[in-house]
Structure 1
């Protein structure tokens, strides 16, 4: 299936120009159908019964883990379903036995979800180092080499920024971590949906991402682990091999970390979303978004009173473009885009308040985030409308 063939699988683009995929992507009909099939034809709990529906549901749930794990090259590790990337990151933060003096390195570019869990560990005496980026949000590797010392226990970095669109050199950072004996967590919420990601190539220990940003349902996320080195966040049904009144013996694999009845239809839907992306080809998704992003960056650069943030080269960014218009609040710009031409974008701090303070942006930015269902015609409409709004300054 080609990119141009997919629009028929989405209803919202028939009457709106949706450019807020960095928050939540749209969901195609085949994904909805897969979830409905579970609820209508074989709804049952997984791993808890021998009747025919339980057997089918359990197998499909297992298949979903295998499909999503394979999508990121993670067959050799453990793929755990979570509610979202936020929960996945918090599971890692809560799963280590932290000691006073342990050291964590992260960055000011992070989404709150990959910053707040680490900052909270300061209450346990953990040292948290937050490093600063260069002018367009790209880090000099020397900065990481200086920050990641021999005493560093974990490094947590976003693969791609949800504000600036910048793609960070995670493979090179992984090499630094390995040399210093530090674990490496990559927040892939903005990378996995948009270009090929392979944990074998990166060399990370943890990869966290969300299903709802990659054509899947809300309430789905992934924690991939190279090794099962953290303690489970939740204990309960499904996580154990044996239980006595004195304690329990935990099971292995993803079940160890998925206490209670999971979001079964969501997992099946996420696996279908992965199949959908694979049918398009992640290389094709990347090239399509680069064409859109290049057109948008070029168009906005020519408009007076408009400032664009992040790198100019589309080879070093995803289809996330943040901008401001002089003397107009970002919320007002987003409202006008919606009212005038039904263009839906995000405005504000994008859950990155420290980054906004670092950039000196008290009110945040307007963010257009693009995906496979957006078109060049929509980009031209956005540029034209922004120009009209900017002309009123």
Structure 2
């Protein structure tokens, strides 16, 4: 929207690279046929775009075989496939206390319906866990550890590689929720011992909504979340055994994936290192400005500590929803308020009673926009201080 300063990148990135929109329009106009369902030239071209997107995504995440990546509607879809497809009755699962509801709710569902045991590792107020606490939580029947790579409230970055080593030494698998890190932080599934990686297409990968995916270690066989047509092994009663078809029942979002392909290509060209460095610099700029306003508190890691581009804050006793409303209506600044689908993280941060205002920075955020947000918060604070 013209004139809006957008600080809700953690929910969906905006704006998108022009090539994303161009690719989606070209697909719609020229080859929006069913991929994998026909041998005519339009269907073949659609299939080719899907494979090209898998190939580029595999390169970004250090995946050897692109077919080990299955497309999903979003990270929530991918997490449900991973959790419900892997965890069995009697299993013990470990997760952290800053997980999104997309992790917590599927796990609590299995706890209530499938005799699954669940342990939450407590995070400190800045969102960090002590690895020794994780080590102590393992049991003989621990099958899975689920960890958010970066908190969607606090911006805290988890030591995924070290967690992966602990999982290996205890014979457990590691599922990473990369909702806030894919396209922003370096991810190497081999080097970090990641068995499953759930990621969105519409956030750091700069693609459209309705896209995402799940990397599945080739040594794992998940029970499919969905059953139906795949265009392969149609004579079989059960889902195909071949990947990625086994986990991709139904017509794929070809138009969206064509856009995602360009988003991933953009990230590969710019590099995640450059993207994170730019976002971190502006995150520090925003934090420093907000900390200079008396009565403003910031959640998560302190100034100077590594984190993703998420700055959640409160203004004294002001209601977070009211602050967000004023920023939107009076300053044309879009932020997110409330509980951010992660009450566990708010509990860890001590803000469960009132929530927080979340400002999240993206690759196309400008320094001028960051300064405008700081000045707007100063003005709002001055009104509350009267």
TM-score by length of structure 2 reads 0.94
User: Could you tell me how far 1:249 is from its partner in structure 2?
Assistant: 6.5
Residues 240 and 248, structure 1, Cα contact 8 Å, conserved in 2? no
CA distance in 2, matches of 1:15, 1:385: 15
Residue 59 of structure 1 is aligned with which of 48, 53, 73? Answer: 48
Residue 205 of structure 1 is aligned with which of 195, 206, 218? Answer: 195
User: Could you tell me how far 1:84 is from its partner in structure 2?
Assistant: 0.4
**Structure-2 residue corresponding to 1:291:** 281
Deviates more, 1:220-229 or 1:164-173: 220-229
User: Could you tell me how far 1:313 is from its partner in structure 2?
Assistant: 4.4
Residues 76 and 226, structure 1, Cα contact 8 Å, conserved in 2? no
Residues 66 and 75, structure 1, Cα contact 8 Å, conserved in 2? no
Equivalent runs, 1:55-204 vs 2, <5 Å: 55-76=44-65, 78-96=68-86, 98-100=88-90, 102-122=91-111, 123-204=113-194
Aligned CA distance change for structure 1 residues 46 and 239 (closer, same or farther; 3 Å):
closer
Residues 240 and 249, structure 1, Cα contact 8 Å, conserved in 2? no
CA distance in 2, matches of 1:282, 1:146: 34
**Structure-2 residue corresponding to 1:18:** 6
Residues 287 and 303, structure 2, Cα contact 8 Å, conserved in 1? no
Structure 1: where are the runs of 5+ without partners?
A: 1-11
> Is 1:48–2:40 an aligned residue pair?
no
User: Could you tell me how far 1:138 is from its partner in structure 2?
Assistant: 0.8
User: Could you tell me how far 1:39 is from its partner in structure 2?
Assistant: 0.8
User: Could you tell me how far 1:358 is from its partner in structure 2?
Assistant: 3.6
- C-alpha RMSD over aligned residues: 1.6
Give per-residue Cα distances to partners, 1:117-152, cap 9 Å, x unaligned: 111111211110011112311111111111123321
Residue 343 of structure 2 is aligned with which of 353, 361, 372? Answer: 353
Residues 243 and 249, structure 1, Cα contact 8 Å, conserved in 2? no
Counterpart secondary structure, 1:177? helix
User: Could you tell me how far 1:97 is from its partner in structure 2?
Assistant: 5.6
Aligned CA distance change for structure 1 residues 124 and 378 (closer, same or farther; 3 Å):
same
Structure 2: where are the runs of 5+ without partners?
A: none
TM-score by length of structure 1 reads 0.92
Aligned CA distance change for structure 1 residues 15 and 259 (closer, same or farther; 3 Å):
same
Aligned CA distance change for structure 1 residues 326 and 248 (closer, same or farther; 3 Å):
closer
User: Could you tell me how far 1:257 is from its partner in structure 2?
Assistant: 0.8
**Structure-1 residue corresponding to 2:378:** 387
> Is 1:37–2:29 an aligned residue pair?
no
User: Could you tell me how far 1:242 is from its partner in structure 2?
Assistant: 5.0
User: Could you tell me how far 1:235 is from its partner in structure 2?
Assistant: 2.0
Aligned CA distance change for structure 1 residues 248 and 347 (closer, same or farther; 3 Å):
closer
User: Could you tell me how far 1:239 is from its partner in structure 2?
Assistant: 6.4
CA distance in 1, matches of 2:266, 2:161: 27
Give per-residue Cα distances to partners, 1:96-131, cap 9 Å, x unaligned: 36122x100011101100111111111211110011
Residue 281 of structure 1 is aligned with which of 257, 271, 281? Answer: 271
**Structure-1 residue corresponding to 2:328:** 338
Give per-residue Cα distances to partners, 1:245-283, cap 9 Å, x unaligned: xx3472411111101111111111111100111222221
**Structure-1 residue corresponding to 2:312:** 322
Alignment length, in residue pairs?
378
Counterpart secondary structure, 1:316? coil
CA distance in 2, matches of 1:142, 1:76: 34
CA distance in 2, matches of 1:206, 1:197: 12
Equivalent runs, 1:225-264 vs 2, <5 Å: 225-227=216-218, 228-238=220-230, 240-241=232-233, 243=235, 247-248=237-238, 250-264=240-254
